[in-house]
Structures are given as C-alpha cells and as structure tokens.
C-alpha cells in the first residue's frame, strides 16, 4: 500500500475525529436542553392536544414502559399493513404486496431500529412504503432510543422521585427538536453532493456497449440522512451506502460516518449536564472513544495486511470494497457502523479477511456501546458502569455507589439480566439453526453459500446483528427463508424491548432513591482508574462471552 493511500486514510479519520470534537459540547448541550426545557413549542402543544397528552404530567417507569411498548406495537402493525397493501398504494411502482413473513421481518426490523433487510429494496418496496413506513420509523425508533436513555439519566439525577419523565413528550421533542432539523440539513448536503432525490421510478438508459440498463430513482437523500443520523442503516438500494446514488464520493462517505457518530458521541455530554457533573460525561466518552479507536485500528490493520494468497497477489484485500473508498475508507465505515447500531455499509463485510470480518462482529457483541446507537449506546454503557462500580467495590472494599445512588441487589439483578439478554439470543439462535435437523438442512442448502467455518460465521453474524439491533450482514447469507425471517424477527424484538424494559425498571429504582453524600469510601467515577476499569468490564463481561463460538467461526477460519 503506497504512502499516499495511507495518508489519505489518516486524513479521513482525523477529519471525523476533529468534527466530533467540535460538535461534542454544542450538540450535547443542546440535547440536554431539549429534554430539560419546561417550554413546549407551539407545534408540540398542538400534537399533544390531538393525542390527548398532558405534557406536564410525568409517568412512573411502568407507565413510561407501557408507552414505549404500545407505540412500538402500533408501529409494527402499521408498517406491516403498508407492505401488505402496497399494490393499491400510490407510487407503488407496480410492485406486488410483500409476502407475510418478509413483511413481518421488515416491520419489526425498522420499528426496533435494526433495519435488517432480507430483500432488495429497489425491486421490493414502492416509494409510499419507503417514505410513510421506513423513513418515518427511522425517526421514531431513533427517538425512542434517545428517550429511554434520557429516562435512565433522570433516574440518576433525581432524588426520591416516583417518575422518570413523560414518554410522549420525550418522543416528540427528540423528533421535532433534534432529529428532524439535523436530518434536513444533512439531506440538503447530500442532494448537493449528488445523492438522488426524486420520484422518477425506473428509467431505461442506453449503455456505452449499445445495450440498455434500468436505473432506479427515488427520494433517497431524505432517507439517507435520517438512516445515518438515527443509526438506523436500512439502504434505499440493495448495495446500501456503497451505491453511488446513496454515497457518490469519498467525502460523502466521511460525511455519512460523521452523521452516524455525532449524536451517540454527544450523548455523554448531555448525560454530564443533566446529572450536574460534566466529568462523568467525559469519563463515559473516554471509554467509548478508546474502544472505538482500538477497534477501527484493528480492522484497518488486518485488512491492510491482506492475509491470504489472493489478497496478496492482488496487492490488497479489495474484494467487496469500492475503489472510490479503498481499504481505509471502507474499514472506517465498517468500524463506525458496527460500533453504533447503524448497519449501513459501504463495503461487503462478508468479503473481508476472516480476522478482519471478526472485528465488526465483535463490535456488535460488545453491545454497540462505543458509542452505540442513538440513546442505546449511552444506556448500555451506563448499565456497564453500574456493573463496574459493583466490581470495583468488591475489589477494593469501597461502597458500591454511582452518582450518589446505592447500587444494591435490585440494581445489580436488573443490570445482570440486561447483560445476558443479547448473548442468549445470539447463541441460542445460532445453535438452533444447526441443531434442529430440518432447520439445519434448510440453512445449509438454501441460506449458506459457504460451508465450514465461514458458513457458521455468516449465521453467527446474522443473529449478532439482529439481536443487537444493528442490521448489517455477511451478504453471503440468504436470509429470506421461513426460519430466518421468523427467528431473526423474534431476535430483533426481544433484543430491543427486553433490555429497554430492564433499563426503565432500573431508572425507576434509582429515581426513587435519595442521593447519598460521597464519603472517603465512595469510588470516584470520573478518574482514569475508573475509565480503565469500565473499559475492562465492557470487554470481559460482553465480548468474552462469545469467545467459544468465535473459535469455531472466524478464528478457526483466520488461523488455519
């Protein structure tokens, strides 16, 4: 690899890092103001009157949870219905209704902020379904994640309170004051860059060889902006962010990476502001950033090595990568999209080297906490902080407290259950895919294009992606089968909402406590020692759970 390519890659990474640093304080402060302001905008008051919500009435954690679940169930039913009635909707492009199983999987996918796609979007979904179904869910599912994180932060910040906020107010403000304004600006920038934004349908054009080719159109830029900003990830086209109509140039790829990272990395600042101690936000940020830097460096190094005969003969591991972005631009995107819960890709992770492809998988196995999805990354990291405080207290004999709240048996049980949910879904789902004879036969004969260790990696990646609500895939897997659309749909549902219920229950238990004054026995949670402890806990408690199955998949493939 020549020096110019290396320096270009370093410049891309440095640009993203600089922009995130510049956005951290203003964006984080704005997020904190959005959720602490006592004033409602006029448009918000109008919406509250329509849906019958009193914006001044707060909710217990149980009522908040019911709001999240009811709203999400309605979303699943609505998106499912849109797909099933697609043929009679305007701008259907003559496409038929989506089959029942695939419609269920897609509805669950977008409502859970996963955006897993077991289909080719441009030949499956018309513009009405794309806009009224998928694009709308890109906004609301992201706002739900932020709302849950804010509710947990309130749990730490409040004293002797029986409430943690109002879900409907948090949901509305997240869309109206944060996601919608930013996505409009981002969409305009993408349109200027050449991303498609039209209702042209399919256009037949002549090729330079004298043949014809059908090019799809569509309102792409508007969906691309919120898909990245809300860490959603579902592409308007099957090639996702490697398609020139979604991502036409290297600088737009850097812009899209910045969009998917900016809110998750600003959330620790909002957390610090809301609990009244910015040092706590910096501590969380330091852990997120450290893990992210190590991960992206590792996958870039492994792909640059080009392990294997074919990559070495070709001069680099360029299979599945766009020449517009090269190895550095591809691995930067791959790391960012799996460290968050985005799932958008500008290269095919299935074509990475065995060990290089393992890193995006491990990013998801960490729980997508560095920085994670919008909202989900912060509440996942705060759960780990609770575990770290408890572990630190056991190690040094200090009182297990975090931000003035006692960490007792109830809190540890909730945090422990949270940690166990996704590994159970991933490992059980992968095991059942090969343990049930009829299912195994279908998976091996229909879904897998590769046998052996790589075939196992493809299935493992799919359940890891679905259970962690990421949405990216090893593209060699054919997932549009009865078993996989159902099993992955269930994994997405449980992987999203079981942790949310546990987080809100933890928020309620913390909010009810009075603040305990810090003493000489209190473990400081803003110092480098705690940052190191939290980073170690994040890796040991999450990623090492998967080590046995990784030895059968990517490690076995990469070390032979």
List pLDDT tens digits, range 269-313.
999 999 999 999 999 999 999 999 999 999 999 998 876 666 666
Give percent of the chain above pLDDT 90: 81
Q: Which residues, including other chains, have CB under 8 Å from residue 322's CB and lie 6 or more apart?
A: 242, 329, 330, 346, 347
Instruction: Tell me which residue of 4, 491, 478, 471 sits closest to 241, measured CA to CA.
Output: 471
Domain ranges of the chain: 3-277
List pLDDT tens digits, range 468-480.
999 999 988 999 9
Contact indicator for 16, 258 with CB cutoff of 8 Å = yes
Q: What is the pTM of this model?
A: 0.95
Would you state the torsion angle of the CA atoms of residues 414, 147, 288, 268, taken in this order, to the nearest 10 degrees?
A: -110
| Residue 445: predicted pLDDT | 92
| Position 490 pLDDT exceeds 90 | yes
- Euclidean distance between CA atoms 232 and 383, whole angstroms: 22
Task: Spell out where 262-335 has E strands.
Answer: none
Give percent of the chain above pLDDT 70: 98
Q: What is the mean pLDDT of residues 50-72?
A: 96
Least confidently predicted of 86-100, 108-122, 160-174, 294-308? 294-308
List pLDDT tens digits, range 348-406.
999 998 999 999 999 999 999 999 999 999 999 999 999 999 998 888 777 789 999 99
| Residue 486: predicted pLDDT | 95
| Position 541 pLDDT exceeds 90 | no
What SS3 state is found at 203? strand
| Position 257 pLDDT exceeds 80 | yes
List pLDDT tens digits, range 139-158.
999 999 999 999 999 999 99
Mean pLDDT of the chain: 93
Contact indicator for 235, 121 with CB cutoff of 8 Å = yes
| Position 55 pLDDT exceeds 70 | yes
């Amino acid at each position: 690899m020549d020096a110019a390519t290396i320096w270009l890659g370093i410049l891309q990474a440095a640009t993203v890092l600089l922009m995130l640093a510049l956005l951290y304080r203003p964006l984080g402060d704005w997020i904190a103001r959005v959720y602490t302001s006592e004033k409602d905008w006029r448009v918000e008051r109008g919406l509250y009157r329509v849906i019958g919500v009193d914006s001044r009435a707060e909710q217990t954690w149980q009522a908040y949870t019911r709001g999240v679940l009811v709203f999400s169930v309605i979303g699943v039913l609505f998106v499912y219905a849109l797909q099933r009635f697609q043929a009679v909707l305007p701008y259907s492009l003559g496409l038929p209704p989506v089959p029942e199983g695939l419609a269920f999987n897609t509805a669950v996918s977008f409502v859970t902020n996963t955006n897993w796609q077991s289909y080719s979007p441009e030949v499956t979904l018309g513009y009405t379904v794309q806009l009224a179904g998928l694009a709308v869910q890109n906004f609301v599912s992201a706002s739900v994640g932020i709302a849950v994180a804010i509710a947990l932060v309130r749990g730490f910040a409040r004293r002797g309170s029986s409430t943690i906020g109002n879900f409907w107010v948090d949901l509305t403000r997240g869309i109206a004051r944060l996601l919608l304004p930013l996505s409009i600006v981002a969409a305009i920038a993408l349109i200027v860059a050449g991303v498609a934004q039209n209702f042209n349908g399919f256009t037949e054009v002549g090729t330079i060889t004298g043949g014809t080719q059908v090019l799809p159109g569509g309102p792409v830029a508007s969906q691309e902006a919120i898909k990245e900003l809300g860490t959603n990830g579902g592409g308007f086209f099957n090639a996702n962010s490697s398609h020139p109509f979604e991502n036409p140039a290297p600088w737009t790829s850097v812009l899209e990476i910045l969009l998917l990272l900016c809110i998750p990395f600003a959330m620790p600042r909002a957390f610090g502001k809301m609990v009244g101690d910015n040092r706590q936000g910096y501590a969380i940020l330091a852990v997120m950033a450290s893990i992210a830097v190590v991960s992206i460096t590792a996958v870039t190094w492994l792909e640059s090595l080009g392990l294997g005969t074919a990559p070495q003969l070709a001069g680099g591991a360029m299979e599945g990568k766009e020449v517009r972005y090269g190895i550095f631009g591809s691995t930067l995107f791959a790391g960012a999209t799996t460290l968050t819960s985005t799932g958008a890709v500008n290269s095919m992770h299935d074509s990475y080297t065995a060990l290089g492809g393992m890193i995006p998988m491990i990013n998801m196995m960490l729980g997508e906490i560095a920085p994670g999805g919008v909202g989900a990354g912060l509440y996942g990291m705060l759960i780990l902080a609770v575990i770290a405080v408890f572990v630190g207290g056991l190690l040094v004999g200090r009182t297990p407290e975090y931000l003035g709240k006692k960490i007792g048996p109830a809190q540890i049980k909730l945090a422990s259950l949270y940690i166990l949910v996704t590994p159970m879904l991933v490992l059980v789902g992968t095991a059942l895919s090969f343990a049930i004879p009829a299912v195994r036969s279908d998976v091996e004969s229909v879904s897998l294009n590769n046998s052996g260790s790589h075939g196992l990696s493809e299935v493992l990646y799919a359940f890891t992606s679905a259970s962690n609500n990421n949405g990216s895939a090893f593209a060699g897997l054919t997932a549009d089968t009865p078993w996989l659309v159902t099993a992955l749909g269930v994994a997405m549902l449980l992987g999203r909402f079981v942790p949310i219920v546990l987080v809100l229950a933890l928020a309620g238990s913390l909010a009810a406590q009075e603040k305990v004054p810090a003493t000489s026995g209190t473990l400081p949670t803003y110092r480098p020692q705690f940052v190191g402890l939290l980073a170690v806990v994040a890796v040991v408690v999450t990623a090492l759970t998967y080590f046995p199955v990784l030895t059968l998949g990517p490690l076995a493939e990469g070390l032979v």
